[in-house]
Amino acid sequence: MKSFIEKKDNQDYHNTIDLIKKEINELDPLDLFYDDGVPKDIYEQEINEIIYRLQFCKTVEELIEYIYIIFASNYTVGEASPKEKFSNAAKNIFKYRGDFLKSRKKKNETI
């Protein structure tokens, strides 16, 4: 089964996906990348959830909350805390929300 990330072929869409991956992997909210044995796609499930939720976020604060909830529900609240650690990544991701939504709409119109 293909992940949500692999299902689209629009370049703007993929650019946004790459940005989300980069932001979350650089943040490394659970400090997992200290070990060379950790797969580079360790956060793929969370990234897929962020991609899905991005369409519903109307503010950066909502996106911060969504990202926090995603990590708190997939791991533990303690591991995901504090919520504020997601602020910079969410702000950077949110900047591209409009282009992301346009690219999704454009893709859906061509199907």
Those residues with Cβ within 8 angstroms of residue 35's Cβ, 6 or more apart along the chain or in another chain: none
* 75 DSSP 8-state letter: S
CA 111, CA 28: separation in Å to the nearest integer?
Answer: 35
Q: How would you write the pLDDT of the chain (111 residues) with one tens digit per residue?
A: 344 444 445 777 788 889 999 999 999 988 888 777 788 888 999 999 999 999 899 999 999 999 999 999 988 878 888 899 999 999 999 998 887 787 766 655 544
Domain ranges of the chain: 13-26+42-110
Q: Name the pTM for this structure.
A: 0.78
Exposed/middle/buried for residue 82 (C-beta within 10 Å: 0-12, 13-18, 19+): exposed
